[in-house]
Amino acid sequence: MPSLHPEQEYFAHLAQGRFMLQRSASTGGYVFYPRVAEPGTGATDLEWVEASGRGVVYACTVVHQRPPAPDYNVVLVELAEGPRLISRVDGVAPADVKIGMRVRARILQESEGPLLVFVPDAP
């Protein structure tokens, strides 16, 4: 299934509960965010494949707000397939999110649209 409209199709998949990545048939490289060609090689034979959903926290920060607004975490997750993406880790206090933590993807269906988040992975 080639990707013709990368951004539209990514979010359409997410709305249907599927976290999909692009992979080049010729190079095997995974691509995120979705594009019309693989960065560097320019390969246009990008196909949608379901992500494993597994990843590791590569970098994290706690954003501090003026009270009473609560602090929250933002992370850079390195997916098992290689690409990194910005997200957050739910189900754990912001200060307890650590680099190296193994996480698993969840898709939340919210009024603003589907949202990819991560939760701590079972050891």
* Contacting positions for another protein (CB under 8 A): 7, 11, 33, 58-64, 72, 74, 76, 84-88, 99-100, 112, 115
Give the list of residues 6+ apart from residue 16 with CB closer than 8 angstroms, or none: none
Burial of 112 (0-12, 13-18, 19+ CB in 10 A): exposed
Strands (E), the chain: 20-24, 30-31, 46-50, 54-63, 72-79, 84-87, 102-110, 113-120
Distance CA 105, CA 50 (A): 12
What minimum distance in Å lies between the beta carbon of 81 and another protein?
14
C-beta of 35 vs 54, nearer to another protein:
35
Choice between 51 and 60, CB closer to another protein: 60
Task: Output the smallest distance, CB 17 to another protein, in A.
Answer: 17
Phi and psi at residue 11, to the nearest 5°: -70, -30
Q: Provide, rounded to whole angstroms, the least separation between the CB of residue 72 and another protein.
A: 7
CB of 20 to another protein, least distance (A): 13
Q: Which is nearer to another protein, 68 or 100 (CB)?
A: 100
Closer of 17 and 39 to another protein (Cβ):
39
